Amino acid sequence: MTLLNLLLAFATATASATPSAVAEPAPAAATSHRAHRDPTTGAHVVIPPGWHVRTEAPDGAKALFVTKQNIDAEGGFLTGFSLNRFDGFRARQGIAPSEYAAGFAALMAKRHAGARTATATLRAGMTVHEVQFLDDSRLPVTKLQYLIVADDAGDTLQLAWFETPEATVATEWPHGERILHAFLEGLARSPNDRPEPAHGPAQDQETH
């Protein structure tokens, strides 16, 4: 199961008067995942058992990583979710988030043969582009799924993606689907959720 249908479901639900209609069953997974609201980026995700969370806030961007490998111990990761959030995007880059997102998605699809794409509107001014592909230019060959979220009203761009080596897709991709589903659902339910001014305690709960 991919998120292509989820994007359409979210778009349809957003047009209705019942936000709860957005909730399509999350992809199945064998174990419990911990719900997590990240104060640095404002994102809602889930964390698979034993995985690691890391946040960064360099100048002009905020980043969240949910990874199977420990980035601090191993210096990187092969399987995991990444999110880069850019606030004040037009002010900094001189281009609307929606314009950049459309161009970025088109470029990714052009560069990777067989890429699967979809576009949906979560609410007025917020558009999501999805691109899924297998990157055989990397070693190991890696499957990736991108969600490029453009919020012109809030002047924000978010680049979210999950990646895992092709050899581990069967076991790890379901985790990625759960994380991306939670991220999308969080945007649909709480579109105005913003990062907190200062780091506060993350809000976690267990989900099945």
**pLDDT tens digits, one per residue of 15-34:** 443 333 233 455 554 468 99
Residue 107 in domain: yes
Residue 52 in domain: yes
Residue 167 in domain: yes
pLDDT more than 70, % of the chain: 77
Residues contacting residue 199 through CB under 8 Å, at least 6 positions apart? 39, 40, 55
Tokens of 62: 């905020």
The confidence score (pLDDT) of residue 200 equals 46
What pLDDT, in 10s, does the model give residues 43-101? 999 999 999 999 999 877 999 999 999 999 999 999 999 999 999 999 999 999 999 99
Q: How far apart are CA 203 and CA 153, in angstroms?
A: 26
Q: Report the range of poorest mean pLDDT among 73-77, 135-139, 203-207.
A: 203-207
The 10 Å Cβ neighbour count of residue 207 is: 15
Q: Report the range of poorest mean pLDDT among 59-63, 72-76, 130-134, 169-173.
A: 59-63
Residue 30 in domain: no
Q: By the 8 A CB rule, do 8 and 118 touch? A: yes
Residue 164 in domain: yes
Residues contacting residue 22 through CB under 8 Å, at least 6 positions apart? 9, 10, 13, 14, 185, 188, 189
Residue 50 in domain: yes
CATH number at residue 63: 3.40.1000
The confidence score (pLDDT) of residue 196 equals 67
Cis peptide before 140 (omega within 30 of 0): yes
105 vs 8, residue with greater confidence:
105
* Mutual angle of helices 169-189 and 4-14, in 10-degree steps: 10
Residue 205 in domain: no
Q: Which domain holds residue 162?
A: 4-19+38-191
- CA count, 13 A, side-chain hemisphere, 206: 4
User: Confidence class of residue 206 from pLDDT cuts 50, 70 and 90?
Assistant: very low
197 vs 151, residue with greater confidence:
151
Residue 152 in domain: yes
Domain count, the chain: 1
